[in-house]
């Protein structure tokens, strides 16, 4: 007989310690412990949380941003790596699941970064590792394209959990890929602010409105709970950017903020909505609420035509080099795998950090 878990989730509407990886890891572990003290079973952190979202790329021309890029690359995380090991240990110690956004550094290139996310189990293991498929607009100045290896829904005692990063939540094929794996809890992650125009000229991108539309659409179509984890724009980040970039403070202060929330399978919020205050947001979810709406409109079941529509997803991991044939190549192959060992195709699901 099927049972439907009921539990509390925590959304970390928080800021990193700007470009300070050790301090941000410390903050992450502290927040995991705080969420566990409040009986949360899952805590979701924002996009690129370790150790900063590259807002500078929106605020000045790229020829002025080299120093920021070098600092970000020096503070980026490998997967597996010591920083994720510490966070995995905190998850194991508290018995909580963690979704975490981070800047990922390639093991074979000191200048190749991805916008990545891991789902960490309550035993501290990596259940899934996803790289954002396509960086959005000015994000292309920082991150490389990801691949389909992380387009996976993981089966857990909390139900089937999937994650997409920011603009991927507007990609109907990526969203359907997770829906079609029986997703019950969807985590979507966002930055604190996303400037597209100087506010004095008007017409800036309304990030909060975009998040509400995307999150509501996915919750309604998937008949799943959607956990929206957006970052908070704190005084430390503002100070760092304003000190280095003319007009940064004015532009960021006047740009629309992101929001964090939890939505139910009807697309309606089941939590408070966080925006201007930093902290953990909690919500109780009951996965039995996902069942009845499937009677009405199940896009991965009875309300579809699989004889008419076909979707094929390539989940192979992109690698910079492939060795083939001969004893020499066989000896070199482990090093090649290590070069991009972060993709799920090269990991056992549940492999310890």
- Which residues form the catalytic set? 47, 132, 166
Other CB atoms within 10 Å distance of the CB of residue 327 = 7
Annotate 100-132 with DSSP letters as a single string: EEEEEE-SS-TT-EEEEEEEE-TTSBEEEEEE-
Decide: helix, strand or coil at residue 190: strand
Taking the C-alpha atoms of residue 129 and residue 195, their distance in angstroms, rounded to an integer, is 28
Q: 3-state class of 208 per DSSP?
A: helix
- Write the DSSP assignment of 243-301 as a string of letters: HHSTTHHHHHHHSPB--BEEE-TTS-B-S--BSSS-EEEEEEEEGGGGTHHHHH--TTT
Is residue 339 a contact partner of residue 321, using CB atoms and an 8 Å limit? Answer: yes
Angle at which helix 82-94 crosses helix 21-37, to 10 degrees, equals 10
The whole-angstrom separation of Cα 141 and Cα 352 is: 32
Which pair of structure tokens corresponds to residue 243?
């000190």
């Amino acid at each position: 007989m099927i049972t439907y878990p009921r539990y509390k989730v925590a959304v970390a509407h928080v800021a990193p310690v700007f470009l300070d990886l050790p301090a941000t890891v410390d903050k992450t572990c502290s927040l995991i412990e705080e969420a566990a003290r409040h009986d949360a079973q899952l805590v979701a952190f924002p996009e690129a949380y370790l150790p900063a979202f590259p807002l500078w790329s929106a605020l000045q021309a790229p020829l002025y941003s080299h120093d920021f890029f070098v600092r970000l690359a020096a503070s980026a995380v490998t997967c597996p790596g010591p920083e994720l090991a510490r966070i995995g240990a905190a998850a194991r110690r508290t018995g909580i699941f963690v979704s975490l956004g981070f800047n990922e550094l390639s093991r074979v290139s000191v200048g190749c970064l991805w916008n990545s996310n891991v789902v960490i189990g309550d035993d501290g293991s990596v259940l899934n590792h996803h790289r954002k498929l396509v960086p959005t607009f000015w994000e292309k100045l920082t991150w490389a394209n990801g691949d389909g290896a992380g387009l996976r829904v993981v089966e857990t005692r909390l139900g089937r959990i999937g994650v997409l990063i920011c603009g991927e939540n507007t990609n109907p094929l990526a969203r359907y890929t997770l829906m079609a794996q029986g997703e019950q809890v969807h985590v979507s992650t966002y930055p604190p602010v996303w400037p597209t125009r100087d506010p004095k000229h008007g017409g800036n991108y309304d990030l909060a409105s975009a998040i509400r539309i995307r999150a509501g659409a996915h919750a309604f179509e998937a008949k799943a709970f959607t956990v929206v984890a957006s970052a908070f724009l704190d005084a430390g980040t503002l100070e760092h950017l304003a000190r280095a970039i003319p007009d940064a403070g004015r532009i960021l202060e006047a740009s629309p903020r992101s929001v964090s929330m939890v939505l139910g399978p009807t697309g309606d919020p089941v939590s408070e909505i966080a925006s201007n205050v930093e902290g953990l947001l909690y919500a109780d979810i009951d996965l039995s609420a996902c069942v009845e709406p499937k009677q009405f409109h199940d896009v991965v079941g009875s309300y579809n035509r699989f004889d008419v529509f076909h979707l094929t997803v390539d989940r192979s991991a992109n690698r910079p080099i492939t060795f083939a044939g001969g004893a020499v190549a066989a000896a070199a192959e482990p090093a090649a795998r290590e070069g991009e060992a972060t993709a799920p195709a090269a990991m056992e699901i549940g492999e310890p950090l």
